[in-house]
Amino acid sequence: MNPETSENPRGGTSRERKTPLDVRIVAYYLYANSLLFLSLSFFIATGVASPQPHRALLGSVMVTSRLADSIDKLTAGTLFLFCAWGLMRRVGFTWWFSLIVFIYGSTNALLVLPEQQIHVAISIAIDIVLIVWLYLRRDLYGICVKKNS
């Protein structure tokens, strides 16, 4: 029997793919972010937390109501959850989707939160690390770069 396959309890064989440690670490980070944003959305929607007016969508929209802020946090939490799910299962299109989410996140932090410089610096640093990680692990997701010879 091939070491990459194992016997299924129902009979037959199934192909096992052990997820690399770095992929699991990034996915768990994204799952934690998702849990944070989804719970924050719930707390804002129920009135436990009171949101402060802020800008969203690269500074183009002013979020002032509790419902709009809850939807904003719900959307962010869902995006992080989808990215984590796809990266953990090595789905190719989620590599591109995650790349777009991280680029949007750092750009949004830069444009929306200029007065909170430490928050912006930490957010951009984490997003850059994740973008570089995605670039270095692109072969795991089937993203190939053509080499001119």
Q: What is the mean pLDDT of residues 105-132?
A: 86
pLDDT digits (tens, 9 = 90+) for 50-101: 777 777 777 677 777 788 888 888 999 999 999 999 999 988 888 899 999 9
Q: How is the chain split among helix, strand and coil, in percent rounded to 5?
A: 65, 10, 30
Query: What pLDDT shows up at residue 10?
Result: 52
- pTM of the entire structure? 0.77
Task: Give Cα separations from 122 to 53, 60, 113 (angstroms).
Answer: 22, 23, 12
pLDDT digits (tens, 9 = 90+) for 23-54: 899 999 999 999 999 999 999 888 888 777 77
The amino acid that residue 31 corresponds to is Y
Query: What pLDDT shows up at residue 5?
Result: 47
Query: What pLDDT shows up at residue 77?
Result: 93
Which is more confidently placed, 11 or 97? 97
Q: What is the residue extent of each domain of the chain?
A: 19-140
Q: How many CA atoms lie less than 13 Å away from 71 in the CB half-sphere?
A: 8
pLDDT at 3 over 50: no
The string of DSSP codes covering 66-108 is HHHHHHHHHHHHHHHHHHHHHHHTT-HHHHHHHHHHHHHHHHH
